[in-house]
Amino acid sequence: MVKLSDAVSSSRRKSRKNHFTATSVTRHKIMSSHLNKELREKYQVRSVPVRKDDEVSVVRGTYKGREGKVVAVYRKRWVIHIERITREKVNSATVNVGIDPSKVVITKLKLDKDRRSLLERKKGSKDADKGKGKFSEKEVQAMQDVD
Q: How many CA atoms lie less than 13 Å away from 94 in the CB half-sphere?
A: 6
| pLDDT: which is higher, 116 or 2 | 116
| Whether residue 147 has pLDDT greater than 70 | no
* Contact residues for 33 (Cβ-Cβ < 8 A; gap 6+): 47, 48, 49, 50, 56, 101, 102, 104, 105, 106
Q: For the chain, what is the mean pLDDT?
A: 92
Kindly report, residue by residue over 37-53, the tens digit of the pLDDT.
Answer: 999 999 999 999 999 99
Kindly report, residue by residue over 50-77, the tens digit of the pLDDT.
Answer: 999 999 999 999 999 999 999 999 999 9
* Amino acid identity for residue 108 in this structure: K
Kindly report, residue by residue over 14-33, the tens digit of the pLDDT.
Answer: 999 999 999 999 999 999 99
